[in-house]
């Protein structure tokens, strides 16, 4: 058997002695294999990246990203099927992911042309110096991008797109569970004009590759999406390396007693089950004022029961499966624990292999692990509270703070929530799953450091340099 050449090092595709099988979670069958890079290969990739002079103009970088966006759009179904096969996400979710990536890359192309600076007169002190300072943005250097399994295309585009727009060299480490779509995407970038030496790909086990990334001294920035536990370990070990960490969340959706219950229930269902519930910005808790909770839960149950859970490749399926049977079992165990602590199972709660049916629980204890931790599965746990103030207190009572949704008809309550909730984003009259390439995305507390979103990620991935011209007296 020919070893898979999935390592892109110094412009050439290479293989390793060991391989990792990639499996279709729904069936367990092998759908591909990737090389398992060793420490030496990882180090060579970093050395080559550090030595490469990436000197394309902003126009050239923008054209590469624009053409890549168009090429991905033209091959949308191929990318979507690749996503399904390695992740188990349903085809509907996969197609939406491709659409998001296409939009994101287009916006990256636009922002690549907008790396502007400022002209700053300095005669603002008693010294009356007539000088002028000019600021400009330079690429930070070598960006190590470590991506998770849950969005095999979009998470790669979200990191690689801004890095290229800013003029950086990228070393990509995709999840060993879902690397195939990432490789397909990198090949598309190169076909669209990106120099092969401007991006490296390291497939394999994260502990080995990550160790080299952290200790080589050749990485200028790490951008990582994953669990808070891993993010914390990265932050502790990284030293003087710029970090952009997008970590976990216990995403809350607050439903006030004056909320539009139809819209709120629709957002709760969509946010809980999208990406099979494996989304950092999904709905992980629904905090509902008790006076409207009965009517709200009825609507959520009705919406959930209308969903079709089945074969991820079936275009009619609304929910596919989780990344593995172990992941589905972990969700099942958390739901069981919540029921034991007093929660009522309103619907769902079934598991078969890696598939877990969309589940609604009522009267959930706000201190149970299901809602205190990040539960990666299609669950809508409802926590009842007496009023809006208690809802905000409960929303703040976890270690996380990424995005929170608030449904209310009151502008006063909306601004109160915005002011008081400790989170990166508060979304009024929509769920925490809201996303746009134009807005900053990132959290506080254990949810991360820095901000994604095209313009904000580019700022994170550049260094602000100042030049001062003395104009005389």
pLDDT, tens digit, 9 for 90 and up, residues 289-317? 999 999 999 999 999 999 999 999 999 99
Compute the 3-state secondary structure of the chain and give helix, strand, coil in percent, each to the nearest 5. 40, 20, 35
Residue 88 is predicted with a pLDDT of 98
For 412, residues 6+ apart whose C-beta sits below 8 A from its C-beta are none
Distance CA 430, CA 106 (A): 25
Q: Work out the percent of the chain whose per-residue pLDDT is above 90.
A: 96
Q: Is 280 a catalytic residue?
A: yes
Residue 192: active-site member:
no
Query: pLDDT tens across 239-261, in order?
Result: 899 999 999 999 999 999 999 99
- For the segment 53-72, the average pLDDT, to the nearest whole number, is 97
The CATH code for residues 252-436 is 3.40.309.10
Return the closest-CA partner of residue 394 out of 298, 269, 286, 293.
Answer: 286
pTM of the predicted protein model: 0.95
Classify 442 in phi/psi space as left (phi over 0), alpha (psi -120 to 50) or beta: left
- Whether 300 and 268 have beta carbons less than 8 Å apart is answered as yes
**Which value, to the nearest 10 degrees, does the dihedral of the CA atoms of residues 83, 89, 92, 96 take?**
-60
Residue 238, H or E segment:
helix 228-238
Statement: residue 406 has pLDDT above 60: yes
Those residues whose C-beta lies under 8 Å from the C-beta of residue 187, and which sit 6 or more positions away, are none
Hey, is 404 helix, strand or coil? strand
H or E stretch at 68: helix 58-74
Q: Which of 67, 97, 246, 452 is catalytic?
A: 246
With a cut of 80, say whether residue 456 has pLDDT above it: yes
CATH superfamily to which 7-247+446-466 belongs: Aldehyde Dehydrogenase; Chain A, domain 1 (3.40.605.10)
Question: Nearest 5 degrees, angle CA 301-CA 402-CA 174?
Answer: 95
Q: Which of 280, 321, 368, 379 is catalytic?
A: 280
Which residues, in sequence order, are CB contacts of 22 under 8 Å at separation 6+?
Answer: 30, 31, 32, 33, 34, 86, 177, 178, 179, 180
Contact present, 344 and 338 (Cβ < 8 Å): no
Q: What is the pLDDT of residue 56?
A: 96
Domain boundaries, the chain: 7-247+446-466, 252-436
The Cα–Cα gap between 289 and 268 comes to 15
Backbone angles phi, psi at 385, to 5 degrees: -130, 160
Containing H/E element for 405?
strand 403-407
- Residue 102 belongs to what H/E stretch? helix 91-112
Query: Once rounded to an integer, what is the mean pLDDT over residues 97-122?
Result: 96
pLDDT at 1: 46
């Amino acid at each position: 058997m020919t070893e898979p050449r999935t390592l892109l090092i110094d412009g050439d595709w290479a293989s390793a002695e060991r391989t990792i099988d990639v499996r279709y979670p729904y069936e367990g069958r092998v759908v591909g294999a990737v090389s398992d890079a060793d420490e030496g290969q990882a180090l060579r990739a970093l050395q080559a990246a550090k030595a490469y002079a990436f000197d394309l103009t902003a126009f050239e970088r923008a054209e590469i990203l624009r053409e890549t966006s168009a090429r991905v759009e033209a091959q949308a179904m191929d990318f979507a099927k690749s996503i399904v096969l390695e992740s188990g996400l349903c085809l509907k979710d996969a197609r939406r992911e491709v659409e998001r990536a296409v939009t994101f890359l287009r916006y990256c192309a636009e922002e690549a042309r907008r790396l502007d600076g400022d002209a700053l007169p300095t005669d603002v002190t008693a010294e009356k110096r007539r000088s002028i300072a000019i600021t400009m943005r330079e690429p930070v250097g070598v960006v190590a991008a470590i991506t998770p399994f849950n969005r095999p295309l979009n998470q790669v585009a979200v990191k690689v797109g801004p890095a290229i727009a800013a003029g950086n060299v990228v070393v990509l480490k995709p999840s060993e569970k879902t690397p195939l779509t990432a490789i397909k995407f990198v090949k598309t970038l190169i076909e669209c004009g990106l120099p092969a030496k401007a991006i490296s790909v390291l497939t394999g086990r994260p502990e080995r590759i990550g160790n080299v990334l952290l200790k080589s001294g050749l990485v200028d920035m790490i951008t990582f999406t994953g669990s808070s536990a891993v993010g914390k370990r990265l932050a502790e070990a990284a030293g003087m390396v710029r970090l952009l960490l997008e970590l976990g969340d216990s995403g809350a959706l607050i439903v006030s007693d004056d909320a539009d219950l139809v819209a709120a229930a629709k957002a709760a269902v969509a946010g809980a089950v999208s990406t099979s519930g494996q989304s950092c910005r999904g709905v992980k808790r629904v905090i509902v004022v008790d006076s409207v909770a009965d009517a709200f839960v009825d609507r959520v149950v009705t919406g959930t029961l209308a969903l079709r859970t089945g074969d991820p490749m079936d275009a009619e399926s609304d929910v596919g499966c989780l990344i593995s049977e172990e992941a589905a079992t972990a969700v099942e165990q958390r739901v069981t624990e919540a029921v034991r602590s007093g929660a009522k199972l309103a619907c769902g709660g079934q598991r078969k292999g890696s598939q877990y049916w969309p589940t609604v629980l009522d009267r959930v204890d706000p201190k149970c692990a299901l809602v205190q931790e990040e539960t990666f599965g299609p669950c809508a746990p409802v926590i009842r509270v007496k009023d809006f103030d208690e809802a905000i207190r409960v929303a703040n009572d976890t270690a996380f703070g990424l995005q929170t949704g608030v449904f209310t008809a009151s502008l006063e309550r909306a601004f109160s929530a915005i002011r008081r909730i400790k989170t990166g984003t508060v979304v009024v009259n929509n769920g925490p799953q809201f996303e746009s390439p134009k807005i900053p995305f990132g959290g506080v507390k254990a949810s991360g450091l820095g901000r994604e979103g095209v313009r904000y990620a580019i700022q994170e991935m550049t260094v602000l340099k100042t030049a001062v011209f003395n104009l005389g007296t």
